[in-house]
């Protein structure tokens, strides 16, 4: 799913923190930047004024304005036309510096939002870059229940009716926290980090067959829910068929483990068979603990195989 942000969204998100004031083209707030647009281009999302590789948010500090002032009239006009013709999302002047009248005029004519802030250029650059990178990062919505279990983000998946919500409710009563039910959204904020959040309309809610919609925050308190969490493990619930697989010997030792591709990242996946009498809450807690051990380089199954191999060598 491609993300998108408008100049108005950006101003509303950072305007108060950066003390932004809108100088020109206040009606151009719907000017937008798509997530796919910046990935194939060299310019940064935000940066100081650059005529060769123009940034999407062009920041004009003391040096940039002084450079414009040093140009003769003809060069200055051509340069200003180049700046607006590149179609930046916004132009921002730092340190509350006076805005040149010709820059104000060309921005108004080209419908380019022009802002001014008392903050330093470095502060503007850092916050604009961070916010735009997060807002335009690749994202996807997955079906399942996203939980925080033993401080790691666990996505519970499975077919409809497999018992995902009931398992999540049991985990909440055991002290774990709900992030999102049914449709958690995941954003790849770095090459190896997927940040999971809940859509606003579903926040704090979980649907359980027979009970309907439950508000977890109101029922269990504020500590029972969490706004976001990094995805580290997927636990898939599958109906137990009773058939014995040909590789059941190794799967009994190593577990039913694999990985699932989410955006550009492979997420470790453990499959738990669902059968009458199985305590899935205990099994999922054990799966989370096992994942934590494996992430530290400790694998009980491989340790047992090595111990068994050593025992056979000693017997020979």
Assess whether 291 carries a catalytic annotation: no
Cα–Cα dist 207/179, whole Å: 13
Whether residue 276 is predicted with pLDDT greater than 60 in this model: the reply is yes
At residue 308, the pLDDT reads: 78
Same fold, 4-135 and 139-299: no
Q: How many CA atoms lie less than 13 Å away from 129 in the CB half-sphere?
A: 14
Rg of the chain's alpha carbons, rounded to an integer? 27
Per residue in 86-132, pLDDT (tens digit) is 889 999 999 999 999 999 999 999 999 999 999 999 999 999 998 98
Mean pLDDT (whole number) for 274-281: 86
Q: Is 266 a catalytic residue?
A: no
The residue among 65 and 253 whose pLDDT is bigger is 65
Q: Indicate which residue of 41, 82, 122, 143 is catalytic.
A: 143
Asked if residues 123 and 203 have their Cβ atoms less than 8 Å apart, the reply is: no
Catalytic residue status for 96:
no
Domain boundary assignment for the chain: 4-135, 139-299
The catalytic residue among 31, 38, 182, 232 is 182
Which candidate in 31, 164, 226, 291 is catalytic?
164
Query: Using CA atoms, how far apart are residues 170 and 283, in angstroms rounded to an integer?
Result: 12
User: Interhelix angle for 7-18 vs 121-135, to 10°?
Assistant: 140
| Number of alpha carbons in the 13 Å side-chain half-sphere of residue 198 | 24
Q: Which residues, including other chains, have CB under 8 Å from residue 58's CB and lie 6 or more apart?
A: 47, 48, 49, 50, 83, 88, 90, 91, 92
CATH of segment(s) 139-299: 3.40.50.300
Q: What is the pLDDT of residues 163-179, one digit of tens each?
A: 899 999 999 999 999 99
CATH assignment of 4-135, among 1.10.150.570, 3.10.450.240, 3.40.1390.20, 2.40.50.180:
3.40.1390.20
* 143 part of the active site: yes
Question: What is the pLDDT of the chain when averaged over all its residues?
Answer: 88
What are 6-34's pLDDT values in tens digits?
A: 999 999 999 999 999 999 888 888 888 87
Q: 283 or 2: whose pLDDT is higher?
A: 283
Spatial distance between the Cα atoms of 202 and 215, rounded to a whole number of angstroms: 10
Q: What is the pLDDT of residue 243?
A: 61
Q: Which of 41, 82, 122, 252 is catalytic?
A: 252
Strand order in the sheet with 90-93: 21-24, 114-116, 90-93, 57-60, 46-48
Higher pLDDT, 239 or 185: 185
């Amino acid at each position: 799913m491609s993300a998108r942000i408008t100049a108005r969204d950006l101003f509303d998100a950072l305007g108060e923190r950066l003390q932004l004031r809108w100088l020109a083209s206040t009606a151009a707030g719907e000017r937008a930047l798509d997530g796919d647009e910046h990935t194939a281009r060299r310019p940064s999302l935000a940066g100081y004024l650059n005529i060769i590789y123009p940034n999407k948010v062009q920041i004009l500090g003391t040096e940039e304005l002084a450079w414009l002032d040093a140009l003769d009239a003809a060069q200055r006009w051509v340069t200003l036309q180049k700046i607006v013709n590149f179609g930046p999302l916004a132009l921002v002047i730092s340190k509350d510096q006076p805005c040149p009248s010709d820059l104000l005029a060309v921005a108004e004519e080209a419908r380019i939002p022009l802002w001014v802030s008392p903050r330093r250029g470095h502060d503007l650059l850092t916050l604009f870059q961070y916010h735009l990178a997060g807002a335009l990062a690749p994202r996807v919505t997955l079906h399942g229940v996203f939980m925080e279990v033993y401080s790691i983000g666990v996505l519970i998946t499975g077919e409809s009716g497999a018992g995902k919500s009931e398992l999540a409710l049991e985990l909440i009563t055991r002290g774990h926290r709900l992030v999102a039910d049914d449709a958690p959204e995941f954003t790849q904020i770095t090459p190896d980090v997927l940040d999971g959040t809940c859509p606003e309309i579903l926040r704090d809610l979980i649907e359980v067959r027979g009970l309907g919609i439950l508000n977890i925050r109101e029922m269990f308190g504020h500590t029972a829910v969490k706004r976001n969490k990094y995805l580290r493990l997927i636990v898939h619930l599958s109906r137990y068929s009773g058939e014995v697989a040909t590789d059941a010997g190794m799967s009994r030792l190593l577990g039913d483990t694999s990985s699932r591709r989410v955006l550009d990242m492979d997420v470790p996946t453990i499959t738990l068979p669902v059968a009458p009498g199985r305590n899935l809450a205990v099994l999922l807690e054990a799966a989370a603990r096992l994942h934590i051990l494996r992430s530290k380089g400790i694998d009980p199954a491989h340790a047992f195989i090595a111990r068994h191999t050593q025992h056979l060598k000693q017997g020979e």
